[in-house]
Structure 1
Amino acid sequence: MPPEIDIRGEADRWHYHPGTVVENNPLFDWPPRPRAVLQWYRAYWLVISTTTLSLLMAVLAIWLWAPSPDQTAMPGGWVIAIWLGFLIPHSALAGGLHLWLYRAKGQGHRLKYDQRGQAENNGTFTFRSQVRDNMFWSLVSGISFATLYTVSWFWAAGNGWAATTSFAENPVWWVAWFPLMLLWGSFHFYWVHRALHVPILYRVAHALHHRNVNVGPWSGISMHPLEHAIYFSSLLIHFVIPTSPMHILFHVYAFTLHPICSHSGFDGLLVTDKKRAQLGDFFHQLHHKYFECNYGTVEMPWDRWFGTFHNGTAEATKRTRAFKKQMYTK
């Protein structure tokens, strides 16, 4: 069946469908496609994206408030600075997108995957409100765990228990660690996410996040505390690999700010009727709709390698439903 027909068949199930199949990072394609790889990384690092936003926030943090490891051997005001340094940007981005997209309806339903609004007066959610539920779990639990891991690294680095590096010491590694960090994050996320779909962990923890079938900006890191502990455990890599404050701050911002946009429910941000920035991640939106697919990210093809990849076509939906039925009838 031609891909166009498959896409149209799946598109009927959405208010907005991107109109193309979902693709993985071509870095892992064979035979190699160097031009496609360069275009992929250009879209991450040389245009407005959550990656460049995370990098900008890390730069601003180093400039404005972040402590250096030689200041963090003992607890102090720097702990509060780190907490506020994560809390304020998260609240501003999630709150701003929610106000614009859902309260002011600044672009109506244009580019919105699911035309339904956020749930209200629904007993599934804490406080019977999807938005309040998501805000509570994101800010009270999520930002707290992000802060805990980060403070632990700064404290360990300040006491000489975590290896550090700098641009002056090793410029090649210092630069390379940024894109490699995204690959590490993709690897880690796939495997912990698969684990969270094991029935016992799903019931205890992950089900809280999957309350959000129709996601919004506050849904990104709205998770059970156990899931936050697992999700942010990707930061433990910095305890064993030489890193710098800039790296770990970038890592945290990537893992907190990117989910806001990827769960926004909209494919892009319209300004003067033109798409100025990518918001949603249709790859992950498919996961929230069909559950047992797309456990990882598009950065690495783990789902393709293990047969759980949904590329946004009708054929993939059929395959995912068969896989889900098999899972639940064992």
Structure 2
Amino acid sequence: MVATRLRRPLGLAALLAVGFAPLAAAAEGTTAERTITVMNTLWGSHAGLRANHAKGVVVEGSFTATPEAAPLSKASVFGGKPVPVTVRFSNATGLPAIADGAKPANPHGMALKFALPDGEFDIVANSLPFFPVATGEEFLALLTANAQTKPDTPKPTPLEQFVAAHPMVPKAGAGVKTPSSLARETYNGIDAFVFVNAEGKRQPFRFRIVPVAGNDHLSAEEAGKQPPNFLMEGLPATLAKGPVAFTIQAQLANPGDQTKDPTQVWPEDRRLVTMGTLTLSKAAADTAAAEKPLLFLPTNLVDGIEVSDDPLIDARTQAYAVSFGKRSQ
């Protein structure tokens, strides 16, 4: 049974509160190193596994771009020919045995690696509509406040104080629910990136990965009744019967829309372009073996796609690299 630390759940803050271990010494090192240390404090250090999103499943497929994609970006991934893709779906937290239907298993993640002639291209997305904080330093502070909050901590607790000062934290996770299948969830590319086309025109955007079959979510009561591995085992079972498809979309920013704050969404009236179709065809024969060498980095881009001024992009890349180094030891 996964416990929370607050009497009343506070969105993503409640999702993070899954253990009461004392805070490990994390005053030294880079922000990324300290972030991984605090994650290991919250959820334990599990050899060979990711510090966050530890439980996952690897599947394979291909991506084919639409004709509408090439005018926006000269990236080879949008050339129109099928591109092999490796995808890892995951639960939140660093708990490798967390039940798929447990509330802290949200938000679920979806990481994609495209194998292109000119290199690899990654998309790292999750089911949050936006991120709870704007920078890597703020995320470290959120994790630290969570780790410092115990059942007997005097009020207001460090976590309550942090949430009071960062109102987007509870809002980020407020509407996130457990999907009936990993193939029935929308995954958002939280950070803004920039398309560059053949003429050099630059267009800020955010990725959105939408299931062709549509979203389908369970109530908390329904999710709690599911077998502990129903999502991770369910997707391979579905793929054994036939392919699963998503559309990869890009929400385009209007002139003047900010790109550096991932806590702030753009209005829904912004143009949404379907860049192509992702078709998943089979599960990896051995997920545990397949996921070990996989490192998904938001900065792993190809010519025609560039980072924006969002500082969280580099913060995520550094933290993922630190986690990869630790689990590869």
Normalised by the length of structure 1, the TM-score is 0.25
Structure (1 or 2) with the greater strand fraction: 2
TM-score where L is the length of structure 2: 0.25
